[in-house]
Amino acid sequence: MTLGLTETTRSWLPVEGPAIEVVGLSFRYHTTEERGRVWTLDHLSFHVDAGEILGIVGPNGSGKSSLLKVLSGLLPAGEGEVRLGGLSIGKRSQTDVARLVAVVPQEYTQVFPFTVAETVLMGRFPHRTVRWWSMGIGDETANDLAYAHQSMVDTDVLSLADRLVSDLSGGERQRVMIARALAQEPKILLLDEPTAFLDINHQIDICSLIARLRTERRLTVVLVSHDLNVASQYCDRVLMLKEGGLCRIGSPEEIIRPDVLRMLYGCDVVVDAHPQTGRPRVTMPMGTV
Amino acid sequence: MADLASSWAQTGAVLTIHRWAAVIGGLLLACVAVLVLCLQFGATSVGMGTVATAIAHLLRGQEAGSPSLGTSEIIMVQIRFPRVLMGFFVGASLAAVGVTLQALLRNPLADPYVLGVSSGSALGVSLAMLLGIGTTFMLLPVLPLFGFAGGLLALLVIYRLAQSKGRLPVHSLLLAGVILNAILTAFIMFITSIMEPNRSAGLMAWLMGSLTAPGYPALGIFLMYVVCVLAVLMHKARSLNVLTLGEETARSLGVNTEGTKKQLFALTALLTGAIVSVSGMIGFVGMVVPHAVRLLIGSDHRLLIPASALVGGMFLAVADAIARTIMAPAEIPVGIVTALAGGPFFLYLLLWRKDRML
């Protein structure tokens, strides 16, 4: 660990090689009631290397969010399996998975007045030590506080520590949720639409934060995004989902192409090279009036 | 890292063991003071000296009614002491149940009566009153037993209605509770309408929420019950904190959400049944006290649950003292006092600390 702190996690992932392996994964909702129902996710097989940023793109209803939930163990695999560090997610305990994988949900609303520091500290839950006599009081150790502190430094929310989460702006709240996820000491970070509902300034902010954390913390990142430019600029590889099936997977240059996008979304788009990075850039064509 | 802990503690950003101990310690002292004060008020007001004699008498464990005691001491030991304590326990339970249900349902407007268990208890007691049952059975008054049985039945029905595929979705639970509440309330109304007028007046007063002096065995059983439920709630406090992030996030953090929900719903429902069966439907305590305490000390349930319980206990003890004295020798239902006192106080808090509001 680069933080100079005691690593409390018992979970282990290899530094090299695949962090996530998806083998013949199928999933559908309501398995018992509607036998003939189509698969939400249909025979997916791919892997995510340790330290990689994988972007998942696809039209509405193509199964992006469901895939993310199966990867985090929130939904059970129907057929096939998801392996984290070589071990099937079904064979790991909930706490074990929570020590490996952190999820940043698309939206976060808090109805109760919790402070930012309290919220980030909740990320230490999977590392709690269960002592029945303490009744859950004062459970947070100095190590827990240190991890929460470091996560807040890394996401630049330390100055907000005693503010209420409900008072924050959308961009600040997203940072707090990432800080909360980092406090879990995860090896894998899953984000669902991290830049949705954010203005351009905060979009850049969150994306470069994710890129920086990947390097600093050697995180494996999987993010779902509707924004093809986010996927193109910040992801090492892009996975395309179409109707629950794996359509394409590869580098942004291989995937973000007019012909592929027309096949996927059924519309024409303009793709040129980003003036700074040279990566594909997607813009809407001139409208027909 | 001690600096970090102390700097966050100073700004109140996180809960520390010192703040926990300070708040709970302060509240415990306040509770003792409030309870002793409340003992003085009633249909006959007594001085501190009598209160002290009676407490000393109880602590020595002597028989009430021994010749050494005067009339006012006997009133203290046999009636006012158990009643004040009962008020305290009921208030504490209402507030603890309220705070737990608010977190579980992620709804700050939830109160102990939202899930319909209370109506089940109330219907049980109404039936017993209609049938004219009112004696004791094995030292225990029969009415609370009826109330408890009614609450238990209602709980089973709600569970059966809301559960699907081994899971307990919060919205179906709320929906089932609201509907069952409406149906059971209709039955209670029907019972009051066919009762003799003087009896139905008694039932109405009870439904509005009123405390009576229980016997010591009943008080002891209720206390045991409250302590056990509170212990489990405290044990689950950190899971409750995480649950407020949303069920999926809580699961991704390793919380057994379904197990926690089922366990806590069942426990709070059982406690609600017990509360209603001894005191009727005392409103406002279960919703307003958690709110007020949350505004003052924050949302961390490790502190919020015990603090709400202590404040709820004090609040109801004081409200009951007012209900006993304001129209003495007559008593008014304590539910009226809690609503009249709690409402404006809550509004005051709301205006005073708007920024801490939801």
Handedness of CA A125, A131, A136, A142 (dihedral sign): negative
Which residue of chain B is at minimal alpha-carbon distance from A98? B253
Residue of chain A nearest B297, judged by CA positions: A113
Q: Which helix (H) or strand (E) holds A148?
A: helix A142-154
B99, B249, B257, B358: best to mutate for the A interface, most A CBs within 10 A: B249
Indicate the residue of A74, A137, A149 with minimum beta-carbon distance to B252: A74
Which burial class, exposed, middle or buried, applies to B355 when counting CB atoms under 10 A from its CB (0-12, 13-18, 19+)? exposed
Our CA-based measurement puts residue A256 at a distance from the nearest CA of chain B, in whole angstroms, of 32
pLDDT recorded at residue B345: 76
By Cβ distance, the residue of B231, B249, B256 closest to A105 is B249
Give the best residue of A112, A119, A166 to mutate against chain B (max B CB count within 10 A). Answer: A112
Distance (Å) from the C-alpha of residue B150 to the closest C-alpha of chain A?
32
Query: Would you call A69 and B298 a contact, using CB atoms and an 8 Å cutoff?
Result: no
Distance of residue A138 Cα from the nearest chain B Cα, in angstroms = 5
Residues sharing a CB contact under 8 Å with residue A288, sequence separation 6 or more, in sequence order: none
The minimal CB distance from B255 to the residues A73, A121, A125 is found for: A125
A145 neighbourhood in chain B, CB within 8 Å:
1, 4-5, 8, 14
Place of tokens 């106080």: B345
Per-residue pLDDT of chain B (358 residues; tens, 9 = 90+): 456 656 766 666 788 778 888 999 999 999 999 998 888 876 666 777 777 777 777 776 655 555 566 777 777 777 888 889 999 999 999 999 999 999 988 888 788 888 888 888 889 888 887 876 655 554 456 777 788 888 888 888 888 888 776 677 888 888 888 889 899 999 988 988 888 887 788 788 778 887 877 778 888 888 888 999 999 998 889 899 999 998 889 999 999 988 898 889 888 888 888 888 788 888 888 988 998 899 888 899 999 999 999 999 999 999 999 988 888 777 888 888 888 887 787 777 777 665 544 4
Looking at residue B179, its amino acid is I
Of the residues A11, A71, A115, the best mutation for testing chain B's interface (the one with the most B CB atoms within 10 Å of its CB) is: A115
List, for residues A228-266, the tens digit of each pLDDT value: 999 999 999 999 998 888 888 999 988 888 888 888 888
Q: Is the Cβ pair A149, B1 closer than 8 Å?
A: yes
* Closest CB from B17, B245, B358 relative to A137: B17
In the numeric block, the tokens 């802990």 are attached to B5
CB atoms within 10 A of CB B259: 11
Q: Which residues in chain A have Cβ-Cβ distances shorter than 8 Å to B103? A: 112
Cβ distance of A103 and B357 shorter than 8 Å: no
Nearest alpha carbon to residue B240 among B213, B215, B260, B221 = B260
Cβ of B103 and A112 within 8 Å? yes
The SS3 call for residue A26 is strand
Give the whole-angstrom CA distance, residue B246 versus residue B241. 10
What chain B residue is nearest to A5 in terms of C-alpha separation?
B1
Measured between beta carbons, which residues in chain B are less than 8 angstroms from residue A132?
235
Among all residues of chain A, which has the CA nearest to that of B235?
A: A135
Tokens of B96: 């603890």
The terminus-to-terminus CA distance of chain A in angstroms comes to 57
Helix (H, G, I), strand (E, B) or coil at A187: coil
Task: Compare CB distances from A113 to B102, B239, B299 and report the shortest one's residue.
Answer: B299
Contact (CB, 8 A) for B192 and B122: no
**Nearest Cβ partner of B1 from A94, A109, A146?**
A146
Torsion of CA A202, A208, A214, A220, to 10 degrees: 60
